[in-house]
Each structure stands twice: as C-alpha cells, then as structure tokens.
Amino acid sequence: MTIELKYSTWDDFPYVKTISSRGLTNFNTVDDPIYIAHKNIFPPDRNIMAMDGDQIVGNALSYPMVMNIPGGTSKIAAVASVSVQATHRRKGLNRKMMKFQLENIHEREEPLAVLQATESIIYGRYGYGMASFNDTLEIERSHSKFAEPFEPSGQLSFIERDEAKNIFPKIYSRGILGRNGMIERTPEWWEARFDLPSWDNRIETGIWNVKYTKDTELLGYVRFRIDDSTLHVIELMSTNLESYKSLWQFCLQMDLTKNLKAYQRPTDEDLKWILADPRRLNTKSKDQNWVRLVNVQEALTNRKYAIDGSINIKVVDDFLDWNNNTYSISSENGVSNCIQTTKTPDITLHVRDLGATYLGAINFSVLQSSGRIESTSKSTISQANLMFSVDRAPWGNDLW
C-alpha cells in the first residue's frame, strides 16, 4: 500500500467532510449546520489528505490562530479533523500525517500546535501535552442564591442576532485579556460561532442573546438556550465583576427553570466563591487544550515568566529532532530569553511534558512526583514552578 499526502482544494471539501465523518463515527450532510459552519472556515491549503490511489483515507487540518499565552500572545496552528478511515487504521497512517503536518507548521513559523483530543491516549506520542482543562457546571436553581445581596447597577437587555454579531466580539476581546489559552476570534470564526454556537451538541436554533451595559458601556454578554426546565449557558463573557455577577444572577434566577448547566467554563470559576452554598455547584472537569511546542526555543522566548531568574532545561523530542537540545531560559525585568546551551541541565523532560506546563495549568512538582521528569535538586523544581506560574488557570472555550 502506497499512501500519498497532499493538500486539499476547495473542491475537495465534501469528500473531506465525508472522511472526517467516517473517522469520527458521525454523519454530516450538506444541509447539516456542522457541515455549513465548517465550510465557511475551511482552509484548503492547510488541510492534509492521505490518498490511497484516488481514495481519501485520512485527513488532518489546522487553522491559523492567535492564542493568549503568559504575558502575551502567540501564533498557533489549531489542529482539527484528524481521522483515519476504518479500512486503513493501525498502519501508521496517523503518525505519517502528524509528522507531515508538524513539519509544515514549523515551516509556517507557528511555534505552537494546539488540539483537543478525541482520545487522550493518542497525541502524547506526537509531543502534545495536556495543558488546560474546562469544567461543566450544574446547579439547581433553588440552591443558586448569592452569599451577599447583589443588585446590578447596569442594564440587562435581550438583543437580536445581528446586534449580537456586532457587539459581542468587542466584549469578548476585552473579556479574554490575560486569560491564557483563549483565542482571538477572527470575523470568520465569529460567523462560525453564530452559525453553530455549540459544535459538540449541534445546537443551531433557540439561542438567546443578552447584553449587559452600564451608561452605554458594553460590559458583558451571555448566550443561552432553555431545554425543558434547564437553562444551558453556551457562553458567558464579562469584563468586570459587576457584569459577571449580573449575568450569572440573571441566568440562575430565570423563571420557569429548575436547573442550570454551563459548558466550557474555567476550572477556577469565580462563581464558586459567590454562591451562598458552593457545594451545590457540581463540576465535571475534562482536558481541553493539548499544547505541542513545534519550535521550543521560540515558544519559550515568546512566553513571559512570573519572576526573574534562569533555569536550564533539556528537552527530549523523539518526533521533531530539531528540538532535541538543552535550553537556558532566563527572565529579567519582564524580558524573557531562551537560547541553546551546553550547560548541565537542571531539569530533563519530554517535550509533551513541557507542553503541559506551558500555559501554567500544570507545575513541575506534579510531573516530578509522578516520575515524568528528572531534576538535579528540589530547588530547581521550585524555581521552575515559580517562573512558569500564572495568576489564573488557563481557559479555552472554543472547540475546533
């Protein structure tokens, strides 16, 4: 069997969706909202097809995006739609596509690749590390009162889709500031989010849009739907505490509802500390963004560090040879630097574990105690923990 890898054209999109549907055990027709939403953002020059003769038997694509990282932003390749047709599995085809894709991402000078894994057992072998987590929240309305009396001083208003499409991006851009893992949404990506607000459960109708303003200033929004007696929060974004509390109070106290369920929320949700009875807020955590350092030196230079200091880290990368080096990471007065060095490493770790620490969700102590990394002393682990620490848990609420 000879497999050829090549890039798509626009004409290939229907076939690409068919292969992806087979590989992911679902089915999308040309009228399916998922099909339409994906077509509007499909990048043919970034979609890799595995060809067995004239048949597409595998697929992998990536979207060009910008993601918040500690102290700034970074270009990323958002990897998606990775699938191998059932007739061609267990033949090394996925590995071949991943290698080809990461080499191309490197050529495009995108230092990070980020994906959401359908199966967590797969992507560590290609250098991806589990770097952020999201919570699904559930609470009964009868147990959702705030600990302290709260009366909003602004205005909550229902708005139509066209107005929401105009103002929500402005609020979102302010709301994600400083939150690692969040992406900057392009106009095309916003269009997709409105066409299909929640790709995981194919909700395309019945979405209500509410804005929160104060003295004409746009401060927050929520998108939700109501199914029977449950209010489903699709997205809630705020720019300050008042808008945050106002929007949550609005959702939690909705008449004719009994329960609330919110999706893709950060693991350090402030709501837990606002409720009178926080134990009633049930949370279910799941891995979200898996980070792969494609160019270790550039990725570590782009990232800012919480304290001044330096540390030498040896990176083991058995998939992308150019990353196999020891790096000296330093930070002084907010300026970070990373260079290759011949010095003895303080810490030795696999690139996937470096990916896990990159956004700040996982510290080096956890990786050491679980036997995943080596260090010369406890103090070097403490130094790495402090340098890579962040104020808030990383959050990524977009699916791709």
* Spatial distance between the Cα atoms of 290 and 368, rounded to a whole number of angstroms: 19
Q: Look up residue 114 and give its DSSP letter.
A: E
* Number of Cβ atoms within 10 Å of the Cβ of 201: 10
Instruction: Check whether residue 276 and residue 319 sit in a common domain.
Output: no
User: Which strands form 374-375's sheet, in the order they lie side by side?
Assistant: 335-340, 325-332, 309-316, 347-350, 374-375
Give me 207's structure tokens: 């979405």
Asked, for residue 117, whether it belongs to a domain, the answer is no
Q: Which of 287, 305, 325 is the last residue of a domain?
A: 287
In total, how many domains does the chain have? Answer: 3
Domain containing 75: what range?
Answer: 4-110
319 found inside a domain: yes
For 237, the 3-state DSSP assignment is strand
| Alpha-carbon distance values, 81 to 38, 78, 89 (Å) | 10, 10, 16
Boundary of a domain, candidates 287, 320, 354: 287
| Strand order through the sheet with 282-287 | 155-159, 208-214, 217-227, 230-238, 259-266, 133-140, 282-287
> Chain centroid to CA 48: how far?
22
- For the domain that residue 19 is a member of, what is the CATH number? 3.40.630.30
> Exposure string (b/e) for 218-227, b if CB count within 10 Å is 16 or more?
bbbbbbbbee
* C-alpha closest to that of 38 among 30, 206, 82, 185: 30
> Are residues 241 and 146 part of one domain?
yes
Tens-of-pLDDT digits for all 400 residues of the chain?
A: 799 999 999 999 988 888 887 766 666 666 677 777 888 899 999 999 999 999 999 999 999 999 999 999 999 999 999 999 989 988 999 999 999 999 999 999 999 999 999 999 999 999 999 999 999 999 999 999 999 999 999 999 999 999 999 999 999 999 999 999 999 999 999 998 988 766 554 544 689 999 999 999 999 999 999 999 999 999 999 999 999 999 999 999 999 999 999 999 999 999 999 999 999 999 999 999 999 999 999 999 999 999 999 999 999 999 999 999 999 999 999 999 999 999 999 999 999 999 999 999 999 999 999 999 999 999 999 999 999 999 999 999 999 8
Q: What's the one-letter identity of residue 207?
A: I
Note whether 189 and 249 are same-domain residues: yes
